[in-house]
Amino acid sequence: MRNIADNRLFNIILLFTIIGEFLVPWILEQFYAAYNGKTMVMSALGSPQSPVRFVYNLWLIWLGGFLTYTAGAYFLSLRARFPVLAVFMLLSIGIFAVGAGLISGFFSVNESKDIITTASKIHGVGAAIGFMALLFFPLLNGIVSFKQKDIMEGIISISSFVLSLIFFACFVMGDKEQFQNTIMKYEGLWERLTLFCLYIPFIYKTMSNLIF
């Protein structure tokens, strides 16, 4: 019996979900005049002030739900050969899915960081923990790939891990007042670049399963 992670339909949905992570915000920001994708985080699209908040928050719930399923699928595909790494990968993807997906979808951040509510605090903690958890996914996937003698996927995953750390550091610095007059101020850009690098191993795996 083939693993769920190798299933063609599963990989098609995962690939389109990852594409949607960037395409959906780009489409929605066209209907939100006050939104600037370069300097504002994607979560602002789901703020109470956003005219597209319902659609974006619904998207986050889908993202969180499907990535939770993905975390389970990857765990099941690896637990026989790499039980410890399988658990860590489950936690890495699963915590991101719940924190940056489901929790962020149900609890909205405000457009202005000066407005702090209980919902925005929950959103902030969930998203932050989720991001930090997913940062380990490319590293874990790289280790698994090298153990499976897939050198190409291993190199791609480790490179993605290094780049995501660099972009995440820029993303964090973009929130600091002392960097507001530097290139670091483009917080939204750094967030998207971080996510893109974190998703590269997913993209490689889905494309490999769909092509071969």
- Between CA 39 and CA 119 the distance in angstroms is 22
Looking at the structure of the chain, the number of domains it has is: 1
pLDDT digits (tens, 9 = 90+) for 116-135: 788 889 998 999 999 999 99
CA 92 to chain centre: 11
Give the pLDDT mean for 79-93: 96
pLDDT tops 60 at residue 30: yes
* Structure tokens, 97: 């899915």
Q: What are phi and psi of 7, to 5 degrees?
A: -65, 135
Identify the three-state secondary structure at position 31: coil
Query: Which tokens in the block code for residue 43?
Result: 């979560």
pLDDT one-digit tens code per residue, 172-187: 888 777 777 888 889 9
CB 115 within 8 A of CB 109: no
Residue 1: what pLDDT?
36
Each residue's pLDDT tens digit, 8-27? 999 999 999 999 999 999 99
Q: Which are the contacts of 169, defined by CB distance < 8 A and separation ≥ 6?
A: none
Range of the domain at 205: 4-211
Residue 162 in tokens: 């290094």
